[in-house]
Chains A and B, each alone.
Chain A
Amino acid sequence: MTVSSTMIKLLYILKKEFLLIIRDVHAVTVLFILPAVFILIMTLAMKDLFELHSSVVIDILAVNHDSGKRSVAFLKAMEEHNTFRFHLIEKDTVTESVKEQMLSRDYKFALIIKNNFSAFVNKKGKEKEKNPLELLVNPTVPVQTQLVLKSTLDGELSKLRWDAFIGRIDKLLAFAGIDKKDLKADKLSPIDVQYVYKGGHYSKMPSAVQQSVPAWLVFSMFFIVIPISNTFISERDQGTFMRLRSMNVPNSYLILGKMIPYLLINAVQVIFMIAIGVYVVPLCGGTALTIGDSLGGLILIASAVSFSAISVALLIASIARTTEQATTIGAVLNIIFGALGGLMVPKFVMPVFMQNLANFSPMSWGLEGFLDIFLRNGGVSDVLPKSLSLLALGLVMLGMTLIVLRRQRKV
């Protein structure tokens, strides 16, 4: 058999598989539409969960009865935390009306700055001893959140009072030769926050989009089992397989005829899902996916995931007796290994024993490989161990498939 004859056969096999896939609405749905929808939903739904370490904004209804400058400075200082956003209402709004507005406009907090605020800070005037702030709280707010707001209010108020005190004694300080700037409260927090992860090494946290895109991409790549087993078992049940065997078509052609088209389909999935993360997610209010700068690493890990997914699918398809059996086995395995491998629930929120268990899932190898590229700016050397594991798994599965097919032929 010449090379050109082999190529022509392979081209027709590829054409056939592509046409079968394109015309199979269910396969297109499972391979492209379902994961794309998952990426969008999960990215947007889990946005806050994944952004625990970045800015969280608490909206607060506020009324300022104070006519001094101190209350304005106080609100400004509070907003500089980037955590609180004050929505000021009419100065003369009475407390009952503030409560009504808070409930009707669904605010969790309302802050009433009393007319003695500046007097309290400056320690001047008749009402300098009365409490200058009143915080209205929706009882459904977690105690921790209440404490965060109360502490910040206390802190900013104390800073303001300290600065006012320094201002009052500036002549005294000048006489003592002390620069009052050295005594002023720091504007920025003097605390460095550092997250500590298991194993002691620094691990960058994924954003919602950076977790969702590779997770659902790997999941959808392994879902190739559905169309592969559909065509494989249909070919067997409809006698097409027997016809092909009677035409002296070797098993290797039948296997290659399945592998090459689905490798290409997996490649299209990779491009499609990345495009969703980069271009579509931002349009829906999420942050855009960043894909690192190692094209080689990306191709390596994507090829390894694809090879192992197709090999697993071929083994399932060759063992299963019916399409229903194959799709059930395939779907169940995918969901179990997906859940175990940190695709559905991110690994970093799992307890330690579950994180250790996740390492047994090939989907986790694939996910971590993609995260190496997208999140940790890794390259070929970073994804090589995971890729080799996936390729080894694929080779074992493929070997088992060939043994099963050979046994079926010998019957």
Chain B
Amino acid sequence: MIKIEHLCKSYDKKPVLKDVTISIQSGSIMGLLGPNGAGKTTLLSILIGVIRKDSGSITVNGMDLDHEIGAIQTRCSYVPQTLAFYPRLTARENLEYFGALRDLKGKKLKESMEFCIDIGSIQDFLNKRVDKFSGGMKRRLNMAIGLLNDPEILYLDEPTLGVDAQSRNYILKTIKKINSERKTTIIYTSHYMDEIEQVSDEIAIIDEGKLILHGAKQDILTRADTLCGHRNLEELFLKLTNIRLRDEN
């Protein structure tokens, strides 16, 4: 379980997370929604230990983030929205490299790689340089690398950004599969409401650094029905976050 209490973070005195309190159940998929600049990526960055919070407390599966960051990072995995690997290396070389940095070696590395190759459906392109991959293949490899350590918690930051319908469908199915087969807790950010509706058990909406809604998917959709007249997540999102454009400056 991930427990976040009164989390605050500012950049140059500009608050980006304001007193966020939320609990995420183990083994669930939580869809994290929010307009551009809402604070989603900052929240994920704090949870994976890449940037430091200003105040508040975070425990991950009973471990305090401030004191057991190393142990938490070993059990978690983060898949950035950018394609965070080496384009001039082959898919195999990328997997070997990130696997080795996850302390995997020998048989364990091989087994882990086989699982990820299968999950990413990249068997036929293993020895091909990644810069020759299509957008969908790159996204699948990006996610596969995140699964090398068989994480208890997987943070996915817009994993379907810029892919075709087929790859998107494949990635979403894979997320469900990993969650159901391995009981992995998944925190998932996306701008696509239909995706969130499709894969999430819980939904949280964050805007201007504040958590404005959090609950089980069915409860959220019921609320959408009440507020907007039909069970549409996008209409609820726009109603709650306002239709004002959120161009970042």
By a CB distance below 8 angstroms, the chain B residues around A240 are 84-86
By a CB distance below 8 angstroms, the chain A residues around B102 are 247
B76 nearest CB across to chain A (Å) = 7
**Bound-complex Cα distance A244 to B85 (A):** 10
B49/A246 in contact, CB under 8 A: yes
B96/A12 in contact, CB under 8 A: yes
Q: How large is the interface on A (under 10, 10 to 19, 20 to 34, 35 or more residues)?
A: 20 to 34
By a CB distance below 8 angstroms, the chain A residues around B89 are 16, 19-20
A19/B88 in contact, CB under 8 A: yes
Within 8 A of B (CB), among A96-152: none
A23/B88 in contact, CB under 8 A: yes
**Bound-complex Cα distance A11 to B165 (A):** 39
| CB-contact partner of B78 in A5, A246, A249, under 8 A | A246
By a CB distance below 8 angstroms, the chain A residues around B96 are 12
In the complex where A238-B84, A248-B69 touch, is A16 in contact with B97 (Cβ < 8 A)? yes
A198 within 8 A of B: no
Closest A residue, CB atoms, query B71:
A248
Closest B residue, CB atoms, query A257:
B101
A237 within 8 A of B: yes
**What string of 1s and 0s marks CB contacts (under 8 Å) between A1-36 and chain B?**
100010011011101100110011000000000000
**What string of 1s and 0s marks CB contacts (under 8 Å) between B79-92 and chain A?**
11111111011000
By a CB distance below 8 angstroms, the chain B residues around A246 are 48-50, 73, 76-78
B208 within 8 A of A: no
Question: How many pairs of residues, A versus B, come closer than 8 Å at their CB atoms?
Answer: 85
**Bound-complex Cα distance A11 to B100 (A):** 9
Interface residues in B, total, Cβ within 8 A: 36
A244/B86 in contact, CB under 8 A: no
A243 within 8 A of B: yes
B174 within 8 A of A: no
B100/A12 in contact, CB under 8 A: yes
B45/A242 in contact, CB under 8 A: yes
A411/B51 in contact, CB under 8 A: yes
By a CB distance below 8 angstroms, the chain B residues around A238 are 82-85
A206 nearest CB across to chain B (Å) = 39
**Bound-complex Cα distance A244 to B101 (A):** 8
By a CB distance below 8 angstroms, the chain B residues around A167 are none
Q: List 6 A-B contacts (CB under 8 A).
A: A12-B101, A239-B81, A239-B83, A243-B79, A245-B50, A410-B51
User: Which 10 A-B residue pairs are closest in the complex by CB-CB distance?
Assistant: A239-B80, A239-B82, A239-B84, A12-B100, A248-B73, A246-B48, A246-B78, A243-B84, A23-B88, A240-B84
For the A-B complex with A242-B45, A243-B84, A244-B101 known, give 19 more contacts whose Cβ atoms are closer than 8 Å.
Answer: A8-B105, A9-B103, A11-B100, A12-B96, A12-B97, A15-B93, A15-B97, A16-B93, A16-B97, A19-B88, A238-B84, A239-B80, A239-B81, A240-B84, A242-B50, A242-B80, A243-B80, A409-B52, A411-B52
